Amino acid sequence: MLLAPYSDKETPNTAVNMIIKSNPERITKMKSITQKSLKLAQRGFTLVELLIVVIILAILAAIVIPQFSSSTVDANEAALDSDLNALRSAIELYKAQHNGLYPGAATSVIAACSAGSVGAGAINT
């Protein structure tokens, strides 16, 4: 063993021998502490501990995932709102550039259109 008492003939260091001979209870206590710490250092996780951790992670994932799935709906709504605002801005810009007329309010040339074509003529005609 590491800290077992030795006689003077077995070890060349006499100071170590004096410490060991003067306080054998302390050496025994240190020996038991180091053996316990080695056992704790070599000890791993048990299967039950690992299963508990996996179950806790699964519960947390089950709570968090539905909150993220609703965020895609919110993102789509925000994108549609942004597109609608851009379209409204473009229409207002057209109105400002064309003397207060909205797109489609100006009449097209009727002679150039064939009968029954869609989009020819003024609005509500």
What pLDDT does residue 1 have?
47
Dihedral sign (CA 94, 99, 105, 110) = negative
Phi, psi of 95 (to 5 degrees): -60, -40
Binning pLDDT at 50, 70 and 90, where does residue 69 land?
confident
What pLDDT does residue 40 have?
62
What pLDDT does residue 45 have?
86
CA distances from residue 13 to 4, 6, 19, 44, 83 in whole angstroms, order as listed: 14, 10, 11, 38, 87
Query: For the whole model, what pTM was predicted?
Result: 0.36
Nearest CA among 102, 83, 84, 80 for reference residue 92: 102
More confident residue, 25 or 104: 104
Total Cβ atoms within 10 A of residue 52: 12
Q: Where are the domains of the chain?
A: 89-125
